Amino acid sequence: MSSLPPQALTAHVESLLDAGSPLPIVAAGDPVLRRPADAFDGQLSDELLARLIEAMRVTMHAAPGVGLAAPQIGVPLRLAVLEDAATVPDEVRLARGRVPLAFRVLVNPSYEPVDGRRAAFYEGCLSVPGYQAVVARHERVRLRGLDEHGQALDEELAGWPARIVQHETDHLDGTLYVDRAEPRSLTSTQAAVERWAQPTPEHAARELGFTLPVSD
């Protein structure tokens, strides 16, 4: 579905939005999640883009999740929405760097690591429901792109906000978190809640037999 002509893309988005929100979330196995999304270059009118962003926001909240990329609703564009209230215990906040992230829109985002430090934590995905796995990601990244108004973004993020940016930007490149995950850490969401809810995955690593990545 990538490289749709603007008219076909407009019709596709209008059809999705006419069905109402929250929108259905595409599950792993759909090719749209495995193809690099097209850069947004005005293919949608300002009004339709605003409607799409609002529907993505509603869908993200309803899921619930802290991020949603356009391919996850079947739209092959480099767009994503993020928001995290970070309502977690203090020990989790400190261990994971999980601080509140206000609602924001990323258009054509990219990131690069600021240094070689990485952090490994359990992560899930709305397109891979029912499972979680440990993923090592850069602790700090430089985010570049645009917001929904076309204003340039160029900033550094750390901790959980950096993880969210990496996860959602990966979606736009056709990458799922399971591609980067430690295979032996894979767990059902129920088991993650019952057994592996500690602030860090060290206990899970010992019990499930995997090695936590070290910083570069």
pLDDT at residue 2 tops 60: no
Tell me if 149 is assigned to a ligand binding site.
Answer: no
Tell me if 125 is assigned to a ligand binding site.
Answer: yes
Whose structure tokens read 């010992």? 206
pTM exceeds 0.85, yes or no: yes
Whose structure tokens read 């499930």? 208
Mean pLDDT for the stretch of residues 123-142: 97
Counting residues of the chain whose pLDDT is more than 70, the rounded percentage is: 98
- Please write the tens of the pLDDT for every residue from 81-107: 999 999 999 999 999 999 999 999 999
Query: 6-208: which CATH topology?
Result: Peptide Deformylase (3.90.45)
Planar angle of CA 130, 170, 38, nearest 5 degrees: 120
- Please write the tens of the pLDDT for every residue from 4-60: 788 999 999 999 999 999 999 999 999 999 999 999 999 999 999 999 999 999 999
Counting residues of the chain whose pLDDT is more than 90, the rounded percentage is: 94
Tell me if 138 is assigned to a ligand binding site.
Answer: no
Q: Using an 8 Å Cβ cutoff, are 33 and 72 in contact?
A: yes
Euclidean distance between the first and final Cα of the chain, in Å?
37
Confidence at residue 214, expressed as pLDDT on a 0 to 100 scale: 72
Tokens of 34: 């495995």
Confidence at residue 1, expressed as pLDDT on a 0 to 100 scale: 42
Q: Where are the domains of the chain?
A: 6-208
Whose structure tokens read 């988005």? 13
Phi, psi of 71 (to 5 degrees): -60, -25
Q: State the DSSP string of 166-200.
A: HHHHHHHTT--HHHHB-GGG-EEHHHHHHH--SSS
Residue type at 205? A
Of 118, 95, 124, 96, which is closest to residue 192 (Cα–Cα)?
Answer: 124
Sign of the torsion formed by the C-alpha atoms of 8, 10, 13 and 18: negative
Enzyme catalytic residues: 168
Distances in Å between the alpha carbon of 36 and those of 30, 44, 99, 173?
13, 18, 29, 4
Mean pLDDT for the stretch of residues 149-169: 98
pLDDT at residue 173 tops 60: yes
- The overall average pLDDT reported for the chain is 95
Q: In terms of residues, how long is the chain?
A: 216
* Separation CA 58–CA 20 (nearest Å): 10
pLDDT at residue 199 tops 70: yes
- Which of residues 89 and 116 earns the better pLDDT score? 89
Beta-carbon contacts of 171 under 8 Å, excluding residues fewer than 6 positions away, are 33, 37, 69, 71, 72, 80, 127
CA 158, distance to chain mean position in Å, is 15
Tokens of 46: 């300002």
| Residue 67, phi-psi category: left (phi > 0), alpha (psi -120 to 50), beta (remainder) | beta
